[in-house]
Amino acid sequence: MTDPILKRVAVRKYTKEQVAKEDVDKLIAAFQAAPCGMHQTDVMQMTAVEDSDLLVKIEKATSNACYGAPLLFVINVKKNNQFGLRDASVAAENLMVEATELNLGSVYLMAAASNLNSAKDLQKELGIDSDYETAVIVAVGHAAETPEEDRSNRYKVVRK
């Protein structure tokens, strides 16, 4: 299977290997290419975290809900905005599909995002503006597991 959309799978075990700088650049480009409601590009921001001290702080604040991944994309949206959460989800998918294309593992993290919203000082340290909240964290790294599941018929689809 070569199509990264079909190949993408939630990965929750990572090696300690860093993600190459050029791959981080490509992932950020994939984030920048995401659609947004009404072309309101100012309601979503992202902090890409590779710094080991900050990664430890995030794991602590989220009770290790980021699975020790060496790269975290913290996607933040303007509070009380009708598009923010939707924008963040499509941007997260862009990141995960691009990660798959780069032979990296990834996972969408909602629980960790909620936990981070209770850690205001850490959010400030991450450069998150006070009128924004974390909607999703996308963990990325070299996969240390290869989850497999038949994904061809998971959801009800009606064709008429």
Ligand X SMILES: Cc1cc2nc3c(=O)[nH]c(=O)nc-3n(C[C@H](O)[C@H](O)[C@H](O)COP(=O)(O)O)c2cc1C
CB-based contact 13:145 (threshold 8 Å): yes
Please identify which residue in the block is written with the tokens 């205001």: 120
CB of 139 to ligand X, least distance (A): 8
- Enumerate residues 103-122 that contact ligand X by CB under 6 A: 107-111
Rounded Cα distance between 10 and 70, Å, is 15
Note whether 73 binds ligand X by CB under 6 A: no
Q: Which residues pair with 139 in a beta bridge?
A: 72, 107
* Site size toward ligand X, by CB under 6 A: 8
Please identify which residue in the block is written with the tokens 């590779």: 50
> Judged by CB under 6 A, which stretch of 4-12, 13-21, 39-47, 73-81 contacts ligand X?
4-12
CB of 90 to ligand X, least distance (A): 11
Q: Can you list the alpha helix ranges (DSSP code H) found in 33-75?
A: 52-61
Note whether 10 binds ligand X by CB under 6 A: yes
Q: Which residues bind ligand X (CB under 6 A)?
A: 9-10, 12, 107-111
